[in-house]
Structure 1
Amino acid sequence: MHSCCARKIIVWSLCLIFYLSHSILVCGSSPPKHLCRQDQRDALWEFKSEFPLSGMAADEKTQTWRNNSDCCSWDGITCDPKTGNVAELNLWGSSLNGSLRSSSDFIGDLKYLRVLRLSGCNLFGKLPSSLGNLSDLTVLELDGNGFTGELPVSLGNLKQLTKLLVASSKLSGNFHHALLNLTELTAINLVSNQLEGTLPSNMSSLSKLEYFDIGSNLFSGFVPSSLFMIPSLIHLKLERNHFNSLLEIGNFSSPSKLQTLSLGGNRLSGPIPGFISKLVGLSSLDLSFWDTLRDEVDFSTFLHLKSLTFLDISTLNTRSIVDMSLFSHFESLSLLSLSRNTVKFSSTLHLVSPIGSLALASCNISEFPKFLRTQTSLFNLDISQNQIKGKVPAWLWSLPGLTYVDFSLNSFTGFDGPADVFQRNEISMLDISSNSFQVPFPLLPQSMTFLAASDNQFSGEIPTTICELVSLDVLVLSNNNFSGSIPRCFENFNTKLSILHLRNNSLSGKFPEESVSVALISLDVGRNQLSGELPKSLINCTHLEFLNVEDNMFNDTFPFRLRLLPGLQILVLRSNKFHGSLYSPRSSPSFSKLRIIDISKNLFTGALPLDYFAGWSEMSSGVYTPDNKQKRFIGITFLNYRKSVVLANKGSEREFLGSSFSIYKIIDVSGNRFEGDIPKSICLLKELNVLNMSNNAFIGSIPPSFSNLTNLQSLDLSKNRLSGKIPPELGKLTFLAWMNFSYNNLEGPIPQGTQIQTQDSSSFLQNPGLCGAPLHKICSGEEEGTLNQDKEDEEEDQVLSWIAVAIAYVPGVFCGFIVGHILASYRHDWFKGIFRYFS
């Protein structure tokens, strides 16, 4: 019996094993079932087809998509495993490069989408209102694109949304009240857009909000107190807007969770609010540029904030003195900015907190801060724009983490310690500009990436030890007394150096071809004694935007090859020995991005074709190209590498610095030997601000189409051979504040337009045929007109005299006739009476 049962158990076990094995084989051999729904796959495929991907990187996510495959297996796509609906579209960082059509069908078909991430995809255009149809959406991330227009009001329909992230774009318009309907939101990030207007007063309806960042926009008005009443809020960032009022906050209903409060860079004024002392959980506080109206500041407000790691109270506009001992009891403070306040500290000051970044720029400091000696965590130090004299102490370079140092605009004369004092650490950026440093030039560590040493008293040859800094990205040695030649060893920087400024020294010789870095963005060797030809290797600098070689002895033809540089914006060749024609049929200089060209005071000759300026699109359109290559590191902006050039404007030369370039578009071809007519294509450059063609041999007439240059502010056509009349149309150029037509062959009356008549008479001198105001020469037509007018006046006087005589004569005759009639009547009656009497 037992053996029989055992056999049955064995048989049943074998059957079960066979059945399970068969099931596994059957399941394994069956074709896979596509999880993705057909309509959603078609919608995704249509979305992909809107963006051409030719030339994109091989790892482009949508390049892996195949129309005949399961879309749930595509890169960036996540599906709901139960329903097959596309639940997440994540193409973060893909170079789609296009616009989201405002009626995108794919959005409507992906109505079950819960997560949409399209950050950093080079998208532009308006955000489609159909986004509001994604009722299940919980995350919308569109950061780092170029979207324009307003946030769609339809976003207020996304009741499940928890994250709205559209930072670093070009959005405009207001903060819609419809967004207050999104009560599930935990994060809003709209930083770095162009949003404006005021915030709604009832922000507390976003009761689950934890992160709110609208910094770097154009918001104005008051900061609503309701923001501080959101119990869940942890990070509140409103910096760099136009807010001008902060409502005083009363008692908090519960302890605030706020850890970040950033209000800096606004227009807030008055006393610093006392309620800030109640935010005891703050770790980051930015009140920079708060205008206290020169009132006293109660710095004890900050003593309650024991958890602070970041504090920025720079530029408070207060008469109070910031005593550094205030911060001696903070234990976690790491980043501290007190710049543009008056700061004092004692020689025995000791800070227990591990300060990592300290900004004391423009704080009226006259001695080097000795308390820094114990700050072994210090990596960033800015003590620029003070009155510190003497030598930089050697102990500073023993701080192990020191990386960024700015000593500019002080009175330092040198460095204490041995010549290799810098090489004890890994310092990366050093700015010692605008001091009194002299030789010897310090030996610098190979970790150096940024070196600015302009406006000092260094002399001799540029030390070849600089060439050992193989990681150098920025080198600024302008306004010193360096002599000799440009070191050939600069070839060590050939793939790294992006900024090279050596202007206003005494450098001579040729510019070595091998010393041109292919990574150059800005090259300035102006005001030296360099000779020979421009380096032909400049053609390899495909990122070059700024080239200034003014006031040297370069002897070369026009560098037509530079037209191939796609981003060249500023070209200054003035005061050299460049020669030859400015035109070559094989090399038309169509500089599409050029904003400033100054080739004045050279030896250029020949005529310019009528279409010479066709294709200079940057000057002919209203496109604004900001000069934004300013280096920015760890919150510190290094300003002293900024571009500098001397340009003629409104009859005088002035130096343009840094950002001032961004607002001008200038052509200066003066002081050469050009001849022929003024190219009429110059009238296509509607954005031109300054035009100087003086001191050449141009002939012909002034084109009336100059009236198209509606942004022109300064026009100099003096010292040429121009003839004909001054076009009256120039008087319509409302921005044209200065013009000069002197020393030509112009003739006829000076137009009476408002802009022209505001000019001094010197603007019209030495044109024998010109007449009329503001010159004292009366036009011949005006003399004849005066004689005719006098004759007409005399004749008119005679007529008036005869009219007067007639007026006097007619009443007299009339009166005589009446009197005669009366007398005659009287006499007739008198004779009749006599006759009756005697009869």
Structure 2
Amino acid sequence: MFSSFASLTHLDLRLNDLSGPIPVEIRYLSKLVFLDLSGNRFSGPIPREIGTLRDLETLLLHSNNLEGPIPVSLGNLENLLKVNISFNFLTGQIPSSLGNLSKLSELYLFLNNLTGSIPTSLGSSSSLRILSLYMNKLSGRIPNELGNMKDLVILRLGHNELTGSIPASLGNLSKLEILDVHENLLSGVIPQELGKLEFLIQLSFSHNELSGQIPVSVGNLSKLELLYLNDNSNNSLIGRVPELVCNLRYLEILDLGNNRFSGGIPQCVGNFSQKLKVLDLRLIRFHGTIPETFLKRDNDLRRLNMNGNQLHGLIPGSLIYCRNLEVLDLGNNMLTGGFPHWVDTIPEIQVLVLRGNKLNGTLHGSNTKSPFHKLRILDLSSNGFTGFLPLNYLKNFKSMMRRDRASPGDLYMGTHFMYDDKVVLVVKGLRLELQRILVVYTTIDLSVNNLEGVIPDTIGELRSLKFLSLSRNSLTGEIPTNLKDLKLLESLDLSSNKMVGAIPQGGQFNTFGNDSYEGNDGLCGFPLTMSCGDDEGSSSPTPEEDSSFFNGLSWESVVMGYGFGILIGSMACVLFWKESLDFSSF
């Protein structure tokens, strides 16, 4: 059959749900210039016979189930301009023969299981503009020879097992716009030579083992939009953040979190770029005050994270001008003053974390008409707040009242602008560090304060609430019975208060253990051992008495399932990405 199409030059069978192996008879299509079999279910190896199609210019086999090695014979296709065999299950090494393809402009091999080192021969590919090898299992050093690819625009080597230092020769790639080597085992310093890359718009060195200081030359990258230097092992990046970073007028994401920088926050931070969307300075050991520099009313800041530093003083009121702010995390510092009520006027705020500071005063006093209607996570724990629970806020938490499911594209916060939000939740003493925030992780934590009064029934209307902690306060009165209607509530902590009465039975109350209530001398009934006498609340419910007994989850089972849930969530995210990814941008 194939022989009857011997003169065919273009074959496009993408997205046809085709399965089985790619026929070796494809060698009879000797005039093929364009071959696209992407987005199907082809399995088995890539036929080495493709290497006989000498006129082939475009080879697209991505998004299939192909296995085995990349055929060495592909190095014979001297007319190849574009190769995309990403998103498969390919194994083995990258053939050095690919370095023979002198006309090759784009090479996509990402999201496979390729091993071994990056061939030094690729440095001979003088026409290569895009080299994308991320999310494989590549090891060894980044070859110095890659610095010879003078036309290279995009270099993606992230999420592999590469070791050694970042070659200074990469500073010779004068046309480079994207350099991504995140999530490897790279060590040593960041080369000063990279400051010569005047067209660089994205630089990602996060999740490595880099050491030393940020080169002053980084301040010369005037077109830089994304700078990721976060989470290097052992917090190895040190020194002061150079003031020259404030020259980066087009920067949209600045992520320096979890390193060992010293000194204070540069005074320019917050007003040097009107395009800045993300400012992540968490876990850096910065001291001093937060600069009062968020003064530009037309700024586009969406994420501000300074958690885990040594900052003191007041929370700057100029943050009120950040009208697009969605995440504000200033937890675990030494900030003082009262609750910043102006935050409730920011219409987009979804995550507010102020835990572990020295804030005081009451949580009342807002005159905002609909405060915090998009809020999903509120963590004000371990401060010195007094007074009653903020009813004016609780009754306006509209996003915590809805139980509608998020669409696949909205599972995580921040994905629409290439940033993974990070937050730490403490649930009954268990520290949960989320590298990505699921939009369903609705949380209220007001524990370890000096709050008093009763728990308002309004909390029972927050139907999407997953974690609720009011422990270690001075709350009184009875537990609202409508909390049993919170079907999604996985953890409840009311311990160490002054509450009284029988613990309500049925619904979600049947899923919580002693630790949810202990330390309240006036409480009685299941699951506590203290009986309420003849009160029905004192008896332990049985499956026959309450059909909802097995509908909830104990916190112990939540912990056991946590890792599996994150795995499934990540797989779902990858599957969705596979469906929607536009490969033309890689």
Q: Same fold (TM over 0.5)?
A: yes
Q: Deviations over 1:720-762 (max 9, x none)?
A: 111111111235777x799611111344431xxxxx6xxxxxx
Structure 1 letter corresponding to 2:130: S
Quote the residue 1:629 is aligned against: 414
1:269: Cα distance to partner?
4.3
1:449: Cα distance to partner?
1.6
Aligned alpha-carbon RMSD (Å): 3.6
Are the aligned partners of 1:742 and 1:767 in contact in 2 as well (CA < 8 Å)?
no
Quote the residue 2:340 is aligned against: 559
Aligned with residue 254 of structure 2, among 472, 475, 483: 475
Quote the residue 1:657 is aligned against: 435
Structure 2 letter corresponding to 1:394: A
Q: Given the superposition, is the C-alpha separation of residues 317 and 467 from structure 1 closer, same or farther in structure 2, using an over 3 Å criterion?
A: same
Whether 1:535 aligns to 2:309 is: no
Bigger radius of gyration? 1
Deviates more, 1:524-533 or 1:725-734: 725-734
The SS at the match of 2:506 is helix
Whether 1:619 aligns to 2:400 is: yes
Quote the residue 1:329 is aligned against: 101
State the alpha-carbon separation in 1 of the partners of residues 513 and 145 from structure 2. Answer: 55
Are the aligned partners of 2:144 and 2:169 in contact in 1 as well (CA < 8 Å)?
no
The SS at the match of 1:342 is coil
1:322: Cα distance to partner?
2.3
Are the aligned partners of 2:287 and 2:311 in contact in 1 as well (CA < 8 Å)?
yes
The SS at the match of 1:523 is strand
Q: TM-score, normalised by structure 1?
A: 0.56
Aligned with residue 224 of structure 2, among 443, 448, 455: 448
Deviates more, 1:617-626 or 1:253-262: 253-262
Aligned with residue 367 of structure 1, among 104, 116, 141: 141
Q: Given the superposition, is the C-alpha separation of residues 460 and 322 from structure 1 closer, same or farther in structure 2, using an over 3 Å criterion?
A: closer
Whether 1:646 aligns to 2:443 is: no
Quote the residue 1:425 is aligned against: 198
Q: Deviations over 1:124-161 (max 9, x none)?
A: xxxxxxxxxxxxxxxxxxxxxxxxxxxxxxxxxxxxxx
1:608: Cα distance to partner?
2.7
Q: Deviations over 1:538-588 (max 9, x none)?
A: 111111111111100111222221222222111111101121111225346
Quote the residue 1:727 is aligned against: 504
1:709: Cα distance to partner?
0.8
The SS at the match of 2:169 is helix
State the alpha-carbon separation in 2 of the partners of residues 394 and 385 from structure 1. Answer: 21
State the alpha-carbon separation in 1 of the partners of residues 193 and 46 from structure 2. Answer: 47
Quote the residue 2:45 is aligned against: 271
Q: Given the superposition, is the C-alpha separation of residues 745 and 657 from structure 1 closer, same or farther in structure 2, using an over 3 Å criterion?
A: same
State the alpha-carbon separation in 1 of the partners of residues 63 and 124 from structure 2. Answer: 22
Structure 2 letter corresponding to 1:285: L
State the alpha-carbon separation in 1 of the partners of residues 96 and 501 from structure 2. Answer: 72
State the alpha-carbon separation in 1 of the partners of residues 173 and 451 from structure 2. Answer: 61
Deviates more, 1:338-347 or 1:432-441: 338-347
Quote the residue 2:574 is aligned against: none
State the alpha-carbon separation in 2 of the partners of residues 688 and 258 from structure 1. Answer: 57
Q: TM-score, normalised by structure 2?
A: 0.78
Identity %: 30
Whether 1:412 aligns to 2:193 is: no
Quote the residue 1:744 is aligned against: 520
State the alpha-carbon separation in 2 of the partners of residues 542 and 733 from structure 1. Answer: 42
Q: Given the superposition, is the C-alpha separation of residues 651 and 300 from structure 1 closer, same or farther in structure 2, using an over 3 Å criterion?
A: same
Quote the residue 1:341 is aligned against: 114
Are the aligned partners of 1:726 and 1:746 in contact in 2 as well (CA < 8 Å)?
no
Whether 1:379 aligns to 2:164 is: no
The SS at the match of 1:653 is strand
Quote the residue 1:129 is aligned against: none
The SS at the match of 1:355 is coil
Quote the residue 1:102 is aligned against: none
Q: Given the superposition, is the C-alpha separation of residues 358 and 529 from structure 1 closer, same or farther in structure 2, using an over 3 Å criterion?
A: same
Equivalent residues, number: 517
State the alpha-carbon separation in 1 of the partners of residues 98 and 10 from structure 2. Answer: 29
With a CA cutoff of 8 Å and minimum separation of 6, indicate the structure with the bigger relative contact order. Answer: 2
Quote the residue 1:438 is aligned against: 212
- Structure number with higher helix proportion: 1
Q: Deviations over 1:389-441 (max 9, x none)?
A: 5543333212220111112233221145xx46513532221112222221263
State the alpha-carbon separation in 2 of the partners of residues 585 and 392 from structure 1. Answer: 52
* Mapping for residues 549-628 of structure 1, pairs under 5 Å: 549-584=330-365, 586-587=367-368, 590-608=371-389, 612-623=393-404, 624=406, 625-628=410-413
The SS at the match of 1:743 is coil
Quote the residue 2:566 is aligned against: none
State the alpha-carbon separation in 2 of the partners of residues 346 and 742 from structure 1. Answer: 62
The SS at the match of 1:321 is coil
State the alpha-carbon separation in 2 of the partners of residues 731 and 492 from structure 1. Answer: 47
Whether 1:708 aligns to 2:480 is: no
Are the aligned partners of 2:471 and 2:497 in contact in 1 as well (CA < 8 Å)?
yes
1:376: Cα distance to partner?
0.9
State the alpha-carbon separation in 1 of the partners of residues 540 and 420 from structure 2. Answer: 44
Q: Given the superposition, is the C-alpha separation of residues 747 and 719 from structure 1 closer, same or farther in structure 2, using an over 3 Å criterion?
A: closer
Whether 1:299 aligns to 2:71 is: yes
Are the aligned partners of 2:276 and 2:301 in contact in 1 as well (CA < 8 Å)?
yes
Aligned with residue 458 of structure 2, among 681, 697, 700: 681
Quote the residue 1:14 is aligned against: none
Quote the residue 1:403 is aligned against: 177
Quote the residue 1:519 is aligned against: 300
Deviates more, 1:342-351 or 1:247-256: 247-256
1:308: Cα distance to partner?
4.0
Q: Deviations over 1:235-288 (max 9, x none)?
A: 55439xxx6944766968988978463635x77644346786798656251425
State the alpha-carbon separation in 2 of the partners of residues 349 and 420 from structure 1. Answer: 21
Q: Given the superposition, is the C-alpha separation of residues 463 and 568 from structure 1 closer, same or farther in structure 2, using an over 3 Å criterion?
A: same
Structure 1 letter corresponding to 2:229: A
Deviates more, 1:472-481 or 1:621-630: 621-630
Are the aligned partners of 1:612 and 1:679 in contact in 2 as well (CA < 8 Å)?
no
Whether 1:356 aligns to 2:134 is: no
Are the aligned partners of 1:666 and 1:690 in contact in 2 as well (CA < 8 Å)?
yes
Are the aligned partners of 2:214 and 2:241 in contact in 1 as well (CA < 8 Å)?
no
State the alpha-carbon separation in 1 of the partners of residues 429 and 504 from structure 2. Answer: 21
Q: Given the superposition, is the C-alpha separation of residues 694 and 353 from structure 1 closer, same or farther in structure 2, using an over 3 Å criterion?
A: same
1:371: Cα distance to partner?
3.0
1:314: Cα distance to partner?
3.8
Q: Given the superposition, is the C-alpha separation of residues 325 and 766 from structure 1 closer, same or farther in structure 2, using an over 3 Å criterion?
A: farther
Structure 2 letter corresponding to 1:452: Y
State the alpha-carbon separation in 1 of the partners of residues 276 and 402 from structure 2. Answer: 32
Whether 1:501 aligns to 2:280 is: yes
State the alpha-carbon separation in 2 of the partners of residues 332 and 420 from structure 1. Answer: 27
Are the aligned partners of 1:611 and 1:680 in contact in 2 as well (CA < 8 Å)?
no
Aligned with residue 445 of structure 2, among 646, 668, 678: 668
The SS at the match of 1:654 is strand
Deviates more, 1:471-480 or 1:492-501: 492-501
Structure 1 unmatched runs, 5+: 1-224, 633-637, 751-755, 757-763, 775-839
State the alpha-carbon separation in 2 of the partners of residues 277 and 476 from structure 1. Answer: 44
Are the aligned partners of 1:389 and 1:412 in contact in 2 as well (CA < 8 Å)?
yes
Q: Deviations over 1:320-377 (max 9, x none)?
A: 2222323423523423334541144555665345111112334433122233232111
State the alpha-carbon separation in 2 of the partners of residues 716 and 318 from structure 1. Answer: 48
* Mapping for residues 132-143 of structure 1, pairs under 5 Å: none
Structure 2 letter corresponding to 1:309: L
The SS at the match of 2:507 is helix
State the alpha-carbon separation in 1 of the partners of residues 138 and 344 from structure 2. Answer: 48
